[in-house]
Structure 1
Amino acid sequence: MSETTPQNPVFPHPAATLILLRDGPDGLEVLVMERHAGLRFAPGATVFPGGRLEAADHHPLWRAHWPEGEPPADLAHRVAALRECVEECGLLPTCAPLSSAVLADLRRGLAAGEGFAAALARVGVAPALDRMTVLARWITPEMLPRRFDTLFFLVMAPRGQEPVCDGGEAVGVLWATPRRLLAEEESGRRRLVFATRMTLLRLAGCADMAAALACAAVPGQGLPAPILPRLVETAAGPVFRIPAGCGFLPLETSAQTVRLG
């Protein structure tokens, strides 16, 4: 077996993804959105809300939003994950209930170019940064021209809020069980990129929201070890291999079935 190692791989952009959870009639449900077919990255794919970190996500003022003690090393990732979720799906986990009118006002501000921190301060909303739990850190394989180093967060869905896609990046949004989404991909009705598919496979084994949160990474001050899929030639053909002990299975997936973007 041999590993394919590309020369001079593109540096991955820091990014964050938010997986909203709720308990439905058939068990655990997650919120996903369908990306616009005209996008450069993952066109038409079903993904969790998320995106690249921006410079403002690193601003020291966000430390004041942390309720107690020293903020974690992933604070900027948490900010980015919440910001992207508001922009793409119209949902925001907060420390107190949020009315639809205030949420709509917040989203209009962001769409008009208002900064996330300024918009939150204007409407008097405190984001629930401390209620997010890290599930994993995925890095896009080295052979791709667009790469991301992404933290995946789990969070309980905010009560009383209904998702509304932005109509730009997201053209559809829905709640579904991980098993349903995987079955729809198997039948050819849905596109899943590799990290999304692996995440759904892991969450498919969780009976409810409590079980999903319990399977998340152990909290700490540092970022979790990255999961970097590597292309490996085997006797049975090329596979993408992930590190043993990373919490995800299978460790090898046929390259013919993997969508990377």
Structure 2
Amino acid sequence: MPETIPESPVQPRPAATLILLRDGPEGLELLVMERHAGLRFAPGATVFPGGRLEEADHDPHWRNRWPEGDPPADLAHRVAAVRECAEECGLPLTRDPLAPAALDGLRRALAAGEVFAEALAHTGAVPAFDRMAVLARWVTPEMLPRRFDTLFFLAAAPDGQQPVCDGGEAVGALWASPRRLLAEEEAGRRRLVFATRMTLLRLAGCADVAAAMACARTDGGFPPPILPRLVETPAGPVFRLPAGCGFLPLETSAEHVRLG
């Protein structure tokens, strides 16, 4: 079965996503946001907060924010994931929940364009990078003009803090169970890109935060990339995932896959 691969695929950009978890009335709930309809990538889609790495995410000073021992090789990805969640949804992953005044101050500083590290320092917030766990590493299929190599992190959300969207990339945010989000997509009320949908399917069977965190990888380092490939089959084109990646189904009809 031949794979459809372009002659020279675009090099994917490093990126990171943070999936914040909480135990709610529906059981396990995840923080998701709705992207602005005018964006070039995934307009109007429901996604997890995240984005590409920036130069400041690699700053050596972040090593001092790791509580004990040597930080992991993916520290810059953790910084990017926490930063993006704070910028887009106004909800930073910190060791202790921020007081309302401190949280509002952090949100105003980020909205005004202040550097993430400085905004944290001004509020005294301590990021909880060590409480994040890697779920998977998704790579955008090779035929697309905009590609990302994204680490998906899981973390329990700080208690009692609610998201506030930036109004730019994110125009709405909510807590919802994986099953609810999948049902709303099935009913045509929500748009999910492929990696988001597969992640929701992976977590749909988790009853609570502890069960979801148990899905995370424990072998350390960067996990093998999950690169969906377009393959022609007798039943029609499908996107195929690598065997053993931890996500099912391994094949999805191309007509049911949204990539952006």
TM-score, normalised to structure 1, is: 0.98
Q: CA deviation at 1:18?
A: 0.5
SS at match of 1:143: coil
The one-character-per-residue Cα deviations of 1:171-214 (angstroms, maximum 9, x if unpaired) are 11111110010011011110000000000000001111111000
The 5-angstrom pairing of residues 8-19 of structure 1 reads 8-19=8-19
Decide whether the 8 Å contact of 2:96 with 2:158 is kept in 1: no
SS at match of 1:11: coil
Amino acid of the structure 2 residue aligned with 1:41: F
Equivalent position of 2:236 in the other structure:
237
Unaligned runs of 5+ in 2: none
Tell me, in whole angstroms, the C-alpha distance in 1 between the residues paired with 2:133 and 2:62.
Answer: 18
SS at match of 2:86: helix
Give the stretch that moved more between structures: 142-151 or 107-116.
107-116
Equivalent position of 2:139 in the other structure:
139
Decide whether the 8 Å contact of 1:133 with 1:219 is kept in 2: no
Equivalent position of 1:260 in the other structure:
259
Equivalent position of 2:247 in the other structure:
248
Matched, 1:223 2:254: no
Tell me, in whole angstroms, the C-alpha distance in 1 between the residues paired with 2:45 and 2:137.
Answer: 20
Equivalent position of 1:72 in the other structure:
72
Equivalent position of 1:94 in the other structure:
94
Amino acid of the structure 1 residue aligned with 2:163: P
Q: CA deviation at 1:219?
A: 4.1
The 5-angstrom pairing of residues 37-186 of structure 1 reads 37-186=37-186
Equivalent position of 1:189 in the other structure:
189
Tell me, in whole angstroms, the C-alpha distance in 2 between the residues paired with 1:94 and 1:152.
Answer: 18
Tell me, in whole angstroms, the C-alpha distance in 1 between the residues paired with 2:63 and 2:155.
Answer: 20
Q: Number of aligned pairs? A: 260
Equivalent position of 2:201 in the other structure:
201
Decide whether the 8 Å contact of 1:231 with 1:239 is kept in 2: yes
The one-character-per-residue Cα deviations of 1:22-50 (angstroms, maximum 9, x if unpaired) are 11122111010100000000000000000
Decide whether the 8 Å contact of 2:111 with 2:166 is kept in 1: no
Q: CA deviation at 1:97?
A: 2.5
Q: CA deviation at 1:167?
A: 1.0
Give the stretch that moved more between structures: 142-151 or 101-110.
101-110
Tell me, in whole angstroms, the C-alpha distance in 1 between the residues paired with 2:117 and 2:35.
Answer: 26
Give the stretch that moved more between structures: 38-47 or 107-116.
107-116
Q: CA deviation at 1:107?
A: 1.8
Q: Hey, which bits of structure 1, 4+ residues long, moved more than 2 A?
A: none
SS at match of 1:224: coil
Tell me, in whole angstroms, the C-alpha distance in 1 between the residues paired with 2:95 and 2:27.
Answer: 25
Tell me, in whole angstroms, the C-alpha distance in 2 between the residues paired with 1:81 and 1:237.
Answer: 36
